[in-house]
Amino acid sequence: MIHEVQVTFLRRNDKGDEKLCKENYIVENKLTFTQVEERVEEEFESLYKDFDVVAIKRSKLREIVNERKDYDEKIFFATIVDTFVNEDGSEKEMKYVVALFAKSMQDAHQKVKEYMAQGLNDMELKQLKETKFLEVIR
């Protein structure tokens, strides 16, 4: 199961002033909110002394289709419509969202095309957007 998490923490700037920061993360392979929170705490306890997990929700993501290869890759969400034919000959559409890492919108579009080419049914890209999520925590 995939979850979306928002974390707040205090970050000190160059002048020594503390500022409250909010960051969004995707947490993969955890079943409960408690497991998600525990995993985020493991990730952040060595980085920040004061942080809070302020929001956790189940994500609409079906899967994360690739791994981050370069630090400058961003997380994109692609909404895909998969059309297939039922036994009675009628068409049925299934809409879902996947996440992927890419350097640019053009790069993301190419990676989504490659992902959709693996499918057996007719797939159509409905939406592709860059997100504010910083990382996938596994």
Check whether residue 104 and residue 87 sit in a common domain: yes
The helix or strand, by DSSP H or E, that contains position 98, with its residue range, turns out to be: strand 91-102
Residue 96 sits in which domain range?
60-131
Check whether residue 108 and residue 67 sit in a common domain: yes
pTM of the predicted model as reported, rounded to 2 decimal places = 0.89
Tell me if 24 is assigned to some domain: yes
Q: What is the pLDDT of residue 106?
A: 98
Tell me if 136 is assigned to some domain: no
Q: Tell me the C-alpha distance between 76 and 17, whole Å.
A: 32
Task: List the chain pLDDT tens, one digit each, 138 residues.
Answer: 999 999 999 888 888 898 899 999 999 999 999 999 999 999 998 887 789 999 999 999 999 999 999 999 999 999 999 988 889 989 999 999 999 999 999 999 999 999 999 977 789 999 999 999 999 999
Cβ atoms < 10 Å from Cβ of 9: 17
Token pair in block for residue 72? 């400058």
Among candidate residues 40, 59, 78, the one where a domain is terminated = 59
The CATH number of residue 65's host domain is 3.10.20
Residue 39 phi, psi (nearest 5): -65, -40
Tell me if 46 is assigned to some domain: yes
